[in-house]
Structure 1
Amino acid sequence: MSAPPMTAQAVVTADRARHGAARLALFGLLGFSAGLPFYMFSTVLALRLAEHGVALAVIGFFAWVQLLPTCKFLWAPLLDRFGVPGFARFWGKRRGWIMLAQLGIASATAAMALTADDRSLGVTALFAVLLAFWTTTLEVAADAWRIELAPTADEQGPIVAANLWGYRSAMVAAGSGALLVADAAGWSAAYWLIAAAALAPFPLLVAMRGQPGGQANRAAAFFEGLLASAAILGAALGIVATVGSASLAGAARLGIDGNANVTPYVLAICLLPFLAMAAALPRIRRAGPASRLRTSVAIGPYVDFFWRYGTAALVLMAFVSLYRMGDVLALNLSKPMIRDLGYSLSQIGRADSVVALVASMAGVGIGGWIVTRWSQGWTLAAGAIFAAIGNFGFVWLAHRPSDEAALYLATAADQFGNGMAGAVFVVYLSMLVNPRYPGAQYAFLSGFAFLLPRLLSGAGGTIVERLDRAGFAGFDLFFLGSGVVSLAAIAFLPALMRIRPREDER
């Protein structure tokens, strides 16, 4: 007997369900694409440098490669305004940038495979910076698209969870897979594997349907996009190499070497754009809708944030700079500490595989769920508490005999806390932005959120060494301090919950 025909409402509901499932799968894929290379210029690179005898202080300086995403506000407006020639004509502006970024990620990772002996730390840094740049570009394009498609917290929760599941799955796959391959076949093989995997989603994007109303031919747009991408990738390589060489030459003339304390100077340079905005706050608040400050392509999106929130913007920026600090501080030095405790690369790789993946996905899932059920203040508090517990877990691990089960437990606590805090924080930042400027403002806020943590992370190796020389347990105090900083963000929550943005009269 045939099934009764579906009602019109049932058809609409079914279409929405299919559309929603497809959207979640898409953003899971985009999260995978962005997460795959992250460990390759952070944690895995730190272990690689340590294996080649690079000093801990210098390894800490390499963590400053992770400062690059904090500067993404410099080029984020370009992604909102322009498209990649060829790719944008058929697949649209957002997907076009995502496709270019994937090509950049694959080429930079392959270059790191070719230079895996680390004989020239300058060359290693060059390709690590390029890898961080293209990874960040992919995130900017994907975040802007996500905010455009899902403007409310209820819509953001599931998409953020799917995106972070993909992101963290890729991070775990890259971290554990790279370490296991490196232990068996060397660092070059590990980076070649990740380069190939990073390009795997590219054919799926090419095969997707074009943008609505697009008139371009797929093949013609594809080949035009490849030519444009080659030119853009070459230009980026030249710019980074030139700026990097000039910076190293300038540092040498100033007498700056691996033993110099350059943290205050780096902090001052990174904070200049944000301090300039804060100083201009009275003028910004008086600016009308036609003011050049608010209509400028370059700074208009950022001026808009300060115009809407006023002095409360300073409170928001202080909070976001603290919230993920504990996670970031732990990221760069947790693996060298574990290696120093006597665990092998294979043991670390196994902990970073199934254990880390399950714990991280559980944390992300719970975080994505509670933002749709709990108030904003309670979700942010829960994320901070579990992130701090993850950091304290490394102190616990350091005082136990070498035991793989204990390593699994510490890794699980760290990844669960990171996943939960990450999910609730992404939704919180997404709700702060003006939908007129989703890419630029989210880049601005998320970049500032990791500026101070990544800067301090770069000095982490020096901090631990100085504590050890002073007779203290350097790693213990470092991870205890990073956990306490995560908890300190909770003190901002009563004030944060009273902040409301000014209505945009446009």
Structure 2
Amino acid sequence: MNTVNSGAGSLLQSARVYLHPRAITLLFLGFSSGLPLLLVFGTLSFWLREAGVERSLITYFSWVGLAYGFKWLWAPLVDRLSIPVLSALLGRRRAWLFTSQCLLIISLSGLAFANPLLDLEHMAMLAIVVALSSATQDIVIDAYRIESAGERLQAAMAATYMAGYRIAMIVAGAGALAVAAWAAADSNLYDPAAWKVAYLSMAACMLVGLFTTLVISEPASVEMDEETLQQREKVISFSENYAHLPDFIARFLAWSYIAIVCPFTDFIRRYGSQALIILALIGTYRISDVILGIIANVFYVDMGFSKEEIAQIIKIYGVVMTIVGAGLGGILVNRFGVMRILFIGALMVSLTNLLFAWLASIGHNTAALTLVISLDNLSGGIATAAFIAYLSSLTNIQYSATQYALFSSVMLLFPKFLGGFSGGFVDSFGYEPFFIGVSLLGLPVLGLIILAHKNIKR
């Protein structure tokens, strides 16, 4: 009996970690991080299709998501540079958060007043600003999470971050569609004023992140390990050897070496020739679901599903199933190891994508849509949990912000580029061949997982 009470008390004591201020902070920052993605991706695709924009043009819009794929290019700048005045007032991390969140509010408000039928190019530019600002915010939040607490709190902070992120996806997906349907004179007809209300509401929701940034504290600076200090000594020596150069050039070269070169050379040094296999796996692991996701909302509209059906089945129920899948994936990874579940998750995602071909063959059917979304999102959640664990195992804590930005960028770069052609493919061949082809694209990933197996940290 005492053992049982002790076990229950231990579980309760462990659960209290979620009441830590840092864990609560990551819930709100996760919300701020998850909100913009669908607003330049799925929700925007729905808006454009309802307005009558051609499928091929809509899928070209998905290329704004390449900002997430190239964020490793400016991650070192965010990681090292300070923003004049703001950094002195808020600290380096909070200054970057504040700036990116202000830009998000402004650009989302600009999208609200844009008209896709009159000025599609203007909408595209605003969507690019949203994506760039959002990607920058993600870089800072990743760095903040890593630097603001020790190892004991990292798992809890990651969990609350994911919860906030998923809640934001419901708000930006189902919430935005529900607001647009509510504000429209007739929810079955296109009403630009309704979309203005929806996007202004989403811009207002970004105030959650902005307020969080203003009330949290700046994390302490990360101390360099011995290897990093040795690299810094090499940089100092380099600067001395090139003292004849203008001072700002010597300083820039030294900074570039520490901020940009070191994180990448560290990765290559640790994994050698296998680094290419690892990067290929990272760049293609999510290829099936990313490409499918680009055309998904267009597909739902073409199949005759209403805003209310999409909001209820996909944007709410589907997100819940993703969270369930992620939870199950975490348990499976803990029980069977990362690589096994990474393989099983990739196989499940590839197979469940075939269900969309079946749905395309039967047309509008809410029961079939519910079944497809349930299995697809459950599989995606399992695969995502394993994939995050794999990426974490590859990261050196000394360069976690830049390396994590590199990995998450590589993860989306090729799939999003390829997905931009999905609308043209569907126009030429139809939905069923498209979904079958997307499913087949996921099969080579299985071979890469086998090749990369020996690189996982146990």
TM over 0.5: yes
Confirm or deny: 8 A CA contact 1:44 1:178 kept in the other structure: yes
Using the alignment, how far apart are the partners of 1:476 and 1:331 within structure 2?
15
CA spacing shift, 1:352–1:87, aligned 2, 3 Å: farther
* 1:54 Cα deviation from its structure 2 partner: 1.8
How many angstroms apart in 2 are the aligned matches of 1:189 and 1:466?
A: 35
For the aligned residue pairs, the C-alpha RMSD in angstroms reads 2.9
C-alpha change, 1:24 and 1:211, in structure 2 (3 Å) is: closer
Are residues 36 and 82 of structure 1, via their aligned partners in 2, closer, same or farther at CA, if it must alter by over 3 Å? same
Shift of 1:204: 3.0
1:178 matched to 2:176? The reply is yes
Q: Which residue of 2 aligns with 1:483?
A: 439
Q: After superposition, where does 1:225-236 map in structure 2 within 5 Å? A: none
Amino acid of the structure 2 residue aligned with 1:98: L
Q: Distance in 2 between matches of 1:390 and 1:404?
A: 17
Question: What percentage of aligned pairs have identical amino acids?
Answer: 31
Rate the CA distance shift 1:81–1:498 in 2: closer, same or farther, 3 A.
same
Residue 191 of structure 1 deviates from its aligned partner by 0.6
Aligned-residue offset at 1:101: 1.8
Following TM superposition, by how much is the alpha carbon of 1:84 offset from its aligned partner in structure 2, in angstroms? 3.4
Larger CA deviation: 313-322 vs 43-52: 43-52
- Return 5+ residue gaps in structure 1 as ranges: 1-9, 214-286, 468-473, 502-506
Instruction: Give runs of aligned pairs for residues 140-289 of structure 1, distance below 5 A.
Output: 140-148=139-147, 157-185=155-183, 186-209=194-217
Cα distance change on mapping 1:211 and 1:289 into 2, 3 Å:
closer
- For 1:290, the equivalent position in structure 2 comes to 234
Structure 2: gaps of 5 or more residues: 1-8, 184-193, 222-230, 239-252
Shift in CA distance, 119/496, structure 1 to aligned 2, threshold 3 Å: same
Moved more, 290-299 or 385-394: 290-299
Per-residue CA deviation, residues 34-71 of structure 1 (Å, 9 max, x unaligned), is 11111110111112222222221111211111111111
Residues 360-402 of structure 1 deviation map (CA, whole Å, 9 limit, x = unaligned): 2112222233333331211212321332244223222222352
What residue in structure 2 maps to residue 31 of structure 1?
A: 30
Shift, 1:203, TM fit: 1.6
- For residues 136-195 of structure 1, the C-alpha deviation after alignment (integer angstroms, 9 at most, x for no partner) is 11111112233445787x975554333222212211221111112223322111111111
1:423 partnered with 2:423: no
- Any runs of at least 4 consecutive aligned residues in structure 1 with deviations exceeding 6 A, and if so which? 291-294
Matched residues in 2 for 1:377 and 1:363: separation? 17
Number of residue pairs matched by the alignment: 411
Hey, what does 1:411 align to over in structure 2? 373
Q: How far has the Cα of 1:324 moved from its partner?
A: 0.6
Q: State the distance in 2 between where 1:150 and 1:494 align.
A: 34
Once residues 132 and 179 of structure 1 are traced to their aligned partners in structure 2, the CA distance between those partners, rounded to angstroms, is 20
What is the Cα deviation at residue 296 of structure 1? 4.2
Q: Which residue of 2 aligns with 1:267?
A: none
Q: Are 1:339 and 2:325 an aligned pair?
A: no
One-letter code aligned to 1:421: A
The change in CA–CA distance for 1:374 and 1:23 in structure 2 (over 3 A counts) is: farther
For 2:40, the equivalent position in structure 1 comes to 41
Range that drifts further, 428-437 or 477-486: 477-486
Structure with greater proportional helix content: 2
Are the equivalent residues in 2 in contact too, given 1:393–1:410 (CA < 8 A)?
Answer: yes
* C-alpha distance in structure 1 between counterparts of 2:79 and 2:376, whole Å: 35
Q: Which residue of 2 is the match for residue 56 of structure 1?
A: 55
Shift of 1:446: 1.1
Indicate if the aligned counterparts of 1:113 and 1:190 stay in contact, CA closer than 8 A.
Answer: yes
TM-score between both structures, scaled by the size of structure 1: 0.74
Shift of the alpha carbon at 1:72? 0.6
CA contact (8 A) 2:148 2:219 kept: no
